[in-house]
Amino acid sequence: MKLLLVFGLVAVALADVTRFEGDKVLRLKPKLNEHVTFIKELANSIEVDMWSPESSEQVTTDIEVDIHIPAKYLDIVYTMLGQSDMEHQILIEDVQAAIEGQADSGGSPRAHSYTKYNTWSDIQNWMNSISSSNPNLISKQVIGNTYEGRPMTVLKLGKASSSAKPAIFMDCGIHAREWISPAFCQWFVKEALSTYGSDSQMTSLLNQMDVFVLPVFNIDGYAYTHTNNRMWRKTRSSRSGSSCVGADPNRNFDAGWCTLGASSNPCSDTFCGYSPESEIEVKNVADFIRRNKSVIKAYITMHSYSQLLLFPYSYKYGLAADHSELLKVAQGASAALQSLYGTRYTSGPGATTIYPAAGGSDDWAYDLGVKYSYTFELRDTGRYGFLLPESQIKPTCEETMLAFKYIAAYVQKNL
Ligand code: ARG
Ligand code: ZN
């Protein structure tokens, strides 16, 4: 036993774990075209990790640009910034310290918890136990395996019925490093089960509809953020011919694929993949939604960060046919969310609210015929970004529940 433990520790020490000591996240505020050029040149000359927007091509004037800069480049970046008059500030002083500061302090051994960031293996065990203890409200189905062979399990929540029920599909964790997102899916399942029978809206929702929940979409990437690189975003697929791993699953859907706001370079964080649905995780989800197209009335996908509630389109500037209704529902949901702790969200179509980016799941679902298609960008607005402390899981999930329930009630009323 002791020997095994020693081997385990040696194995972890030998694994290729990326550390971020002294790295900083800077917020740049480009006001002039030359500032935009400056940022693009910076991103092309050194390895930076774009936090927001996700690619330097999406940088324009008058947006805030959050960039994670490795420690070894800070001197040169500061020298360059000194020669420019662009406004900038430090969001995160030391990325490694922020990573270590994410977890609650407290000695209890880490097991599954709704107020912690759980590992994939804890989430898997949790799915098994929660579904076996609530057989009348939850059923589980595997919709396929990930690239590395992990089972993609969808939980179906709802009162069993002899006839097909209309449904909402929700996924979390398309992007690996956005840890608050899978935390929300787990919270949602707990809340649905614990308030069914007492909360009249939840009871009515689960009586009349089913909610399909995919707690972690990009499981391989999520596991990799726990073991090797906290900042990983993409899938973990590889192909001969490129040494770079993974594609951006939210650029890999068949919606204006790779035309805008996506990269055809396999090394980019917004690589669109080799063809639409080349990523097996994307294909598994798209197949599931196509198969259940006649019952799925809403598609909801959880990302972070920026506090936005987005809807189609992102692959083009043109407005969706249902634009005014989608906007009205998004504004209602944002108001409901804000009512709890005052957290402010901005709503609107992706292309104009953040930036155009093709190949996203929301646009794909909408064009397939799922009218109520929404992308949430959860907390925060950059103070911690992807490294949101665990102490914010509870308030974030509580407020997001109100937005989800607002949308669900609207969908239910308009079946
Ligand atoms: N931050 C998200 C992403 O880049 C936004 C997704 C909005 N929808 C879209 N189809 N681009 O993936
Ligand atoms: Zn994302």
* Per-residue pLDDT tens digits for 267-304: 999 999 999 999 999 999 999 999 999 999 999 999 99
How sure is the predictor about 6, in pLDDT bands with cuts at 50, 70 and 90?
low
Q: If you average pLDDT over residues 182-187, what whole number do you get?
A: 98
Q: Are residues 82 and 132 in the same domain?
A: no
Q: Among residues 65, 99, 133, which one ends one of the domains?
A: 99
Structure tokens that stand for 81 in this block:
């910034």
Number of domains in the chain: 2
Ligand 1 atom 12, closest CA: 250
Query: Looking at the DSSP assignment, which residues form a beta bridge with residue 151?
Result: 145
CATH, residue 65? 3.30.70.340
Q: Is 269 in the pocket of ligand 1 (CB under 6 A)?
A: no
For residues 253 and 364, the answer to whether their CB atoms sit within 8 Å is yes
Instruction: With respect to residue 11, please indicate whether it lies within any of the assigned structural domains.
Output: no
DSSP letters for 160-190: --SSPPPEEEEEE-SSTT-THHHHHHHHHHH
Q: Is 202 found in the same domain as 65? A: no
Same domain, 150 and 86: no
- The CB of 310 under 6 Å from ligand 1? The reply is yes
Distance of alpha carbon 228 from alpha carbon 246, whole angstroms: 14
Query: Could you tell me the pLDDT band of residue 11, with boundaries at 50, 70 and 90?
Result: low
Q: Which of 218, 306, 310 has most ligand 1 atoms within 8 Å of its beta carbon, as the pocket-test mutant? A: 310
Tell me the best of 257, 315, 375 to mutate to test the pocket of ligand 1, counting ligand atoms within 8 Å of each CB and taking the most.
Answer: 375
Supply the residue whose CA is at minimum distance from atom 3 of ligand 1: 250
Parallel, antiparallel, or unpaired: how do β-strands 24-29 and 138-145 relate?
unpaired
pTM: 0.95
pLDDT digits (tens, 9 = 90+) for 376-404: 999 999 999 999 999 999 999 999 999 99
Atom 10 of ligand 1, nearest CA residue: 360
Q: Do residues 28 and 67 lie in contact, with contact meaning Cβ atoms separated by under 8 Å?
A: yes
CATH, residue 377: 3.40.630.10
135 and 66 housed in the same domain: no
Per the CB < 8 A criterion, the answer to whether 205 and 166 are in contact is no
8 falls within a domain: no
How many Å is the Cα radius of gyration of the chain? 21
Asked which of 49, 66, 99 is the last residue of a domain, the reply is 99
Residue 305 and residue 167 share a domain: yes
Ligand 1 atom closest to the Cα of residue 356 is: 11
pLDDT score recorded for residue 106:
64
From the CA of 178, how far away is ligand 2's center (Å)? Answer: 6
Ligand 1 centre distance from Cα of residue 366 (Å)? 14
Look at residue 14 and tell me if it is in a domain: no
279 classed as catalytic: no
One domain, residues 259 and 399: yes
- Considering the domain architecture, whether residues 32 and 172 belong to the same structural domain is answered as no
Show the beta-strand stretches assigned E in 200-322: 210-214, 296-304, 308-311
Minimum-distance ligand to the CA of 354?
1
Same-domain status, 239 and 317: yes
Domain holding 63, by residue range, is 24-99
Q: Are residues 226 and 368 in the same domain?
A: yes
In a domain, 45, yes or no: yes
Same domain, 281 and 372: yes
CB of 303 shorter than 6 A to ligand 1: yes
Q: Which of the ligands is closest to the CA of residue 308?
A: 1
Give yes or no: residues 65 and 133 share one domain: no
Asked if residue 7 is part of any domain, the answer here is no
Residues 352-379 have a mean pLDDT of 98
